[in-house]
Amino acid sequence: MLVFVDGVAVEGEFATGFELVRAVGGGAEIIALEHGGQLYDLSATLVGVNEVRTVAAASKAGRSILRHSAAHIMAQAVVDCFPGTKYAIGPSTEEGFFYDFQLPGGARFDLAELAVIEERMRSIIGERQPFIRQEVGYNEAERIFFDQPYKLEIISRVRGAGGTEDDLREAGGTEMVSIYRNSERFVDLCRGPHVPDTGYVKAVKLLRTSGAYWRGSEANDQLQRIYGTAFWSEGELEAHLVRMREAEKRDHRKLGAELDWFHFPPEVGGGLPVFHPKGAYVRYRMEEFSRKQHLAFGYQLAWTPHIAKAALFERSGHLGWYRDGMFPPMEMEGSTYYPKPMNCPFHILIFESQPRSYRDLPLRLFEFGTVYRYERSGTLHGLARVRGLTQDDSHIFCTPGQLADELARLLEFVLSLLRAFGLEEFAAELATRPDKAVGSEEDWEFATAAARSALEKTGLEYTVAAGEGAFYAPKIDIHLTDAIGRRWQVSTLQIDLQLPQRFELEYQSPENTKERPFMIHRALFGSVERFLAILIEHYEGHLPAWLLDEQVRLLPVNDASAGYAQEIAGKLVAAGARVTVSGAGEPLGARVRKAKIDRVPYLAVVGPQDLANGTVGLTRPRSPEQRGFPLSSFLEEVAEAIREPQLQLEIGQ
């Protein structure tokens, strides 16, 4: 018999996955099989199956099998350590796994107990308990789980022919349910698949506890959740933990406070940052640079207020579809005003303030517009998720014929501006028509094709997220990868089919007819606040010198060197640098330490020897110092580092 394994024909008859894996010369790198769109244990029967795909241990699916198995091991450990514990559900997640429990007497886990549970898990792993799958009827299942109310609930839900995806994942089917047993003591309702035995889980770590309601509803029991993660090797786990610590070190909330850049006064309100002088300076540089580039690239500036009457947002549709995301209304002189959640309606008013000709198009409006959005308190996260944010927002009005080119030049502009901030790794995502969408098929088709051709023109790697578009428009999202490999969504380009229609926008065509323009919404940084957060984390607080209010700090070794320091400062200032001199009021070591904590990009110690030789003692971020560095080279290097980046653009205006 011929069996197709990953598309390759193999001669033979295989009772189980183990036999097949052996036959194709595979080993532990294959952890499960897939056929008929389902994943199966290696121990599952293969009789009558003639086409399978192997699931690599290292693949995403392979890792979630591992982590799901680790969740079972954790549940067994918890039941061992806390007899009488009821266990609920325990899936794998993006980065690990969790399991929800109800401890006897409503007890909670504490951190010390996690270590005990982890220790117990290691001994279960050491026992190499096999994961044994069985299919049993409902009555049998109810007998097995007689003292597990959550499992019984899942069984009865599945039995009632209902059952959610989660229920099915736990129970495994609607005729029979599947269970996994991996010792006399522990059995769980589970669809699987699992690793062959507990010994496959080479590295496991419990990370934190939190509360969670059964089935996510506060009307239900309150359970205790433990999060953990697992890997195929200690090395991978260690790398993951290092990455977590690294991310923690880069946390922009911590660095923001340390650098004295911003904070969130409770008196102002959650998600509403105030920027201190140094942080405000960085913002100012980011914004001025961006404004300048926009002006050079054919944009015109716009400026619009923070609030507007309800009628505007009714007309734009925001009150219809976005009301829950808006700050509540204010009354004045019999009118109702709302803080704006977006800038587009205002820019549209500018477009329609006068009759427009095709000669006016494309009309590109640009604004740093601060918008206010209601984000639920639990979702706020430093500058990355706020309630008052400044979008570097633009709206481009163009003819249908201009759309594809306009998108292409826009993409290139976006990428070159992001590159100017030292970011290098990008990926795009084209989000297409969702099921629930407005507008004609033809319009969607046209706009999506324009987006696609723009992406292909720039050669940017992109994926298609089918059905992920806004209900009114396809969009292109730009993601960037930071210095430690995390992906952040930044820019978004949306081709709007709806607003021009709602506002009945028109322009006069060359044929003297009235035509409807296309509109492109575009935020480049996304929001200034969030982009700053990304920069802080990407650079670990060491932002490029051209953005900073203090670029050079000079440290005279003693008072006798103060004159030399002042002389150098004068030259640097003349070259356009922002310089401070930290005089000999305290010991040099202390001043050096402070400069490093403040992350000043250029730190120059000058003393009598430097004065005599025309040198400085130079320290750059995260590099060893260089003593006796020639002053002239230092001046040149600083002049270079503080220069604003130049955009590399192929498409002209």
Partner RNA sequence: GCCCCCUUAGCUCAGUAGGUAGAGCACAGCCAUGGUAAGGCUGGUGUCGUCGGUUCGAUUCCGACAGGGGGCUCCA
Task: Spell out the residues 6+ positions from residue 325 whose beta carbon is closer than 8 angstroms to its own.
Answer: 341, 373, 374
Shortest approach of RNA to residue 583 CB, angstroms? 7
Q: Is 475 a catalytic residue?
A: yes
Nearer to RNA, 145 or 444 (CB): 444
Under the criterion CB under 7 A, does residue 640 sit at the interface with RNA?
A: no
Under the criterion CB under 7 A, does residue 610 sit at the interface with RNA?
A: yes
Q: How far apart are CA 390 and CA 366, in angstroms?
A: 12
Under the criterion CB under 7 A, does residue 585 sit at the interface with RNA?
A: yes
Under the criterion CB under 7 A, does residue 466 sit at the interface with RNA?
A: no
Shortest approach of RNA to residue 88 CB, angstroms? 13
- Burial pattern 454-487, b for ≥16 Cβ within 10 A else e, equals bbebbebebeeeeeebbebbbbbbbbbebeeeee
Interface region with RNA, contact rule CB under 7 A, candidates 8-16, 61-69, 212-220, 289-297: 212-220
CA nearest to 381, candidates 270, 465, 459: 270
Q: Which of 68, 190, 344, 598 is flagged as catalytic?
A: 344
The helix (run of H) or strand (run of E) holding residue 478 is strand 475-481
Residues 319-338 that bind RNA (CB under 7 A): 321-322, 325
Shortest approach of RNA to residue 95 CB, angstroms? 8
Under the criterion CB under 7 A, does residue 586 sit at the interface with RNA?
A: yes
CA nearest to 611, candidates 573, 651, 554: 554
Q: Name the percent of the chain in helix, strand, coil, to the closest 5.
A: 40, 25, 35
Under the criterion CB under 7 A, does residue 616 sit at the interface with RNA?
A: yes
CA nearest to 292, candidates 639, 534, 645, 650: 645
Number of residues that bind RNA (CB under 7 A): 67
Q: Is 373 a catalytic residue?
A: yes
Beta carbons of 421 and 544 less than 8 angstroms apart? yes
Identified binder of RNA from the candidate list 454, 607, 634, 642, rule CB under 7 A: 607
Pairing of strands 425-431, 462-465: parallel
3-class SS at 158? helix
Phi, psi of 46 (to 5 degrees): -115, 10
Identified binder of RNA from the candidate list 181, 253, 291, 578, rule CB under 7 A: 253
**Both tokens of residue 473?**
């428009």
Q: Is 395 a catalytic residue?
A: yes
Under the criterion CB under 7 A, does residue 603 sit at the interface with RNA?
A: yes
Identified binder of RNA from the candidate list 120, 191, 225, 409, rule CB under 7 A: 225
Interface region with RNA, contact rule CB under 7 A, candidates 56-64, 114-122, 572-580, 599-607: 599-607
Identified binder of RNA from the candidate list 23, 380, 581, 635, rule CB under 7 A: 380
Q: Is 521 a catalytic residue?
A: yes
Interface region with RNA, contact rule CB under 7 A, candidates 26-34, 289-297, 537-545, 600-608: 600-608
Q: Which of 63, 133, 395, 409 is flagged as catalytic?
A: 395
Q: Is 360 a catalytic residue?
A: no
Beta carbons of 192 and 39 less than 8 angstroms apart? yes
DSSP assignment of 580-616 equals: EE--TTS-HHHHHHHHHHTT-SEEEEE-HHHHHHTEE
Q: Is 151 a catalytic residue?
A: no
CA distances from 143 to 71, 90, 138 (A): 23, 21, 9
| Residues in the chain, overall count | 653
Residues 469-528 that bind RNA (CB under 7 A): 470-472
392 burial type by CB count under 10 A (0-12 exposed, 13-18 middle, 19+ buried): buried
DSSP structure class, residue 233: S
Q: Which of 521, 522, 530, 599 is flagged as catalytic?
A: 521
Shortest approach of RNA to residue 605 CB, angstroms? 3
Q: Is 344 a catalytic residue?
A: yes
Interface region with RNA, contact rule CB under 7 A, candidates 150-158, 402-410, 501-509, 608-616: 608-616
Q: How far apart are CA 338 and CA 345, in angstroms?
A: 13
The stretches of 42-176 forming alpha helices (DSSP H) are 60-81, 111-126, 138-144, 149-159, 165-171
Under the criterion CB under 7 A, does residue 218 sit at the interface with RNA?
A: yes
Identified binder of RNA from the candidate list 307, 465, 588, 647, rule CB under 7 A: 588
Interface region with RNA, contact rule CB under 7 A, candidates 80-88, 251-259, 353-361, 412-420: 251-259
For the chain, the first-to-last Cα distance in angstroms comes to 65
Task: Spell out the residues 6+ positions from residue 5 whose beta carbon is closer than 8 angstroms to its own.
Answer: 20, 24, 52, 53, 54
Shortest approach of RNA to residue 304 CB, angstroms? 16
Nearer to RNA, 196 or 474 (CB): 474
Contact letters for RNA, residues 541-560 (x by CB under 7 A): ---------------xxxxx
Interface region with RNA, contact rule CB under 7 A, candidates 81-89, 375-383, 446-454, 525-533: 375-383
**Both tokens of residue 611?**
């004065």
Active site residue ranges: 344, 373, 391, 393, 395, 475, 521
**What does the binding site for RNA look like in residue numbers (CB under 7 A)?**
93, 108, 208-213, 216, 218, 222, 225, 227, 251, 253, 257, 264, 266, 269-270, 318, 321-322, 325, 341-342, 376-382, 470-472, 556-561, 584-590, 592-593, 596-597, 603, 605-611, 616-619, 625, 627
